[in-house]
Amino acid sequence: MTFWEKAKGKLKPKEVEEEVIDLQQRLSKLDLTDINYLNDLMINGNYRGRELEQATTTYLKIKFIKQSLEYQGEQNDKKEVKDS
């Protein structure tokens, strides 16, 4: 057995620890202006290779949260008009 074969046998493969976060929960705590800023950053960014898939997923989540916040704002405006 050669030196490199022994070394490979002793090395343990790195375990990739992936942290899963609830992006919608964290981003929904932001204001609409914050979400608009993040949306603009995502649109104007340059992505390559693997980054493209992750950026697309993140962009779609931000877009969904943005639409939800805009819809909530519209509902609040309608409620205020009815209450007046």
| Radius of gyration of the chain from its Cα atoms, rounded to whole angstroms | 22
Which tokens belong to 76?
């609040």
Model confidence at 27, pLDDT cuts 50, 70, 90, reads low
Closest CA to 64 of 33, 23, 9: 23
The string of pLDDT tens digits covering residues 55-81 is 888 888 888 888 888 888 787 777 666
pTM above 0.75, yes or no: no
Query: Between vectors from CA 36 to CA 19 and to CA 83, what angle results, nearest 5°?
Result: 110
